[in-house]
A and B are shown apart, each in its own frame.
Chain A
Amino acid sequence: QSVLTQPPSVSGAPGQRVTISCTGSSSNIGAGYDVHWYQQLPGTAPKLLIYGNSNRPSGVPDRFSGSKSGTSASLAITGLQAEDEADYYCQSYDSSLALFGGGTKLTVL
């Protein structure tokens, strides 16, 4: 079981908005460490989606947004598209060691 907890799965219809939560504790997210998000399409390497809680790398659509509050963080995807179907992982630090959430599978209905 991961120290960062994500829902195993979420789903939404095209055009809808979905959110993925990442719940930590006072020793990781709550300690002030930033949260980052990755998208992993089937059969490919993970790709950086959000860094520093809410920043999008160049090339990532503004449909993707991140936020952090207290001991949790969230990834929001608006205007859901079929190509968004993938696994999503949050990442932060605990005692100066990197750690990932367990991952969330997004299904576009």
Chain B
Amino acid sequence: EVQLVESGGGVVRPGGSLRLSCAASGFTFDDYGMSWVRQAPGKGLEWVSGINWNGGSTGYADSVKGRFTISRDNAKNSLYLQMNSLRAEDTALYHCARDKGTQSNWFDPWGQGTLVTVSS
């Protein structure tokens, strides 16, 4: 069974940092690109960042560019999101998702998410 399990969320003060992890199982991890998608409380989905199969190509939403860094460790079947200079508007449930497709990727499956709360 394909499974994605996020961890690392918590409460952090504005300006602080947090590192999220996503443990993948049930598929050949380094065959796929991966992404982070977040959902603020009561709001819609927002793509945050994506990375290709070997980490050689990454992309970021304008809202997090320069503050967040996506990475992966294929030996550990793990995806990461380093979040620095956190703001109140970064408060959200962060999901990792597997990329599928070639040019116009879709996301399948999704993890259940880890909650990040930025508050003083």
Residues of A at the B interface (CB closer than 8 Å) are: 2, 33-36, 38, 40, 44-48, 51-52, 57, 87, 89, 91-93, 96-103
User: Could you say which of B46, B50, B111 contacts A100, with CB atoms under 8 Å apart?
Assistant: B46
**Distance in angstroms between the alpha carbons of A103 and B44 in the assembled complex:** 6
Q: Roughly how many angstroms separate A98 CA and B44 CA in the complex, as a whole number? A: 14
Q: Which 5 A-B pairs have the closest CB atoms?
A: A34-B104, A36-B106, A98-B47, A48-B108, A103-B44
Main secondary structure of the interface of A (DSSP, over half): strand
Question: Once A and B bind, how many residue pairs between them come within 8 Å at the CB atom?
Answer: 71
Which of chain B's residues have a CB closer than 8 A to the CB of A89? 44-45
Main secondary structure of the interface of B (DSSP, over half): strand
Please name 12 further chain A to chain B contacts, defined as beta carbons within 8 Å, in addition to the given A33-B104, A47-B109, sorted by A numbering: A2-B44, A34-B103, A46-B37, A48-B106, A48-B107, A51-B106, A52-B104, A87-B44, A91-B45, A97-B60, A98-B50, A102-B44
Cα-based distance from A79 to B65 in the complex (angstroms): 43
Q: Name the distance in Å between B43's Cβ and chain A's nearest Cβ.
A: 8
Report chain B residues within 8 Å CB of A38: 45, 107
Nearest-Cβ distance from residue B38 to partner chain A, whole angstroms:
10
Complex contact A45–B95 (CB within 8 A):
yes
Q: Which residues of chain B have C-beta atoms less than 8 A from A2's C-beta?
A: 44
Q: Which residue of B lies closest to A99 (CB)?
A: B47
Q: Could you say which residues of chain A place their CB within 8 Å of the CB of B16?
A: none
Does any Cβ of A come within 8 Å of B59's Cβ?
A: yes
Chain A residue nearest in CB terms to B108: A48
Q: How far is the CA of A89 from the CA of B111 in the complex (A)?
A: 17
State how many angstroms separate the Cβ of B52 from the closest Cβ of chain A: 12
Chain B residue nearest to A35 (CB atoms) is: B104
Q: In the complex the two chains form, is B44's CB within 8 Å of A46's CB?
A: no
Which residues from A are CB-within-8-Å of B37? Answer: 46, 100
